[in-house]
Amino acid sequence: MRANILLASDKANKKHRTVAETAVAFSTSPTTIQNVRTAYANNGLQAAIQRKKRITPPVPPKITGDVEAHIVAMACGNPPKGYHRWSVRLIAEKCVELNYVESISHMTVSRILKKTNLSLTGKKVGVSLQSKMLPLLQPWRMSLPSIVGCTTRIYP
């Protein structure tokens, strides 16, 4: 698009367009047209056509792979005394307490655990719904007529 903007803005071209006409033709703002033209005038063709690549992201990631590994290991381990199981809020508080991060939201912990398919609500931590339902889905329990004509739930 930037190269086409420069071609449309070329005064040597018979189909020379103004900034406003070029903006309408390429469905962009006049400011974008002017920025491309200015970049070409100041820095040359390559600077106008190619965007500058960022060296670092605008905000460095707060949660690194090490922190994620600590969270997963914590969720798979035994909960602290006085608790039956880990909760995402409890894991978040423990991460701050152990100085893994300065602060972390319980929703961030939830997203990390969801990425790894861990479930804090199962009898065994990390057991997925599919593996819990596997014994219920034995071939002898379901026959083709019962599946095809079934209108009720198969699972007890």
Query: What tens digit of pLDDT does each residue of 37-60 get?
Result: 898 889 888 888 887 777 877 888
> What does residue 154 show for φ and ψ, rounded to 5 degrees?
-80, -35
| Rounded Cα–Cα distance for residues 151 and 156 (Å) | 14
Q: Note the pTM of the prediction, 2 decimals.
A: 0.47
DSSP single-letter state for residue 16? -
CB atoms within 10 A of CB 118: 19
Residue 126 banded pLDDT, cuts 50, 70, 90: very low
| Rounded Cα–Cα distance for residues 67 and 11 (Å) | 57
pLDDT attached to residue 131: 53
Query: What tens digit of pLDDT does each residue of 130-154 get?
Result: 555 555 545 544 444 444 443 444 4
pLDDT attached to residue 144: 42
Query: What tens digit of pLDDT does each residue of 75-111 get?
Result: 988 999 999 899 999 999 999 999 999 999 999 999 9
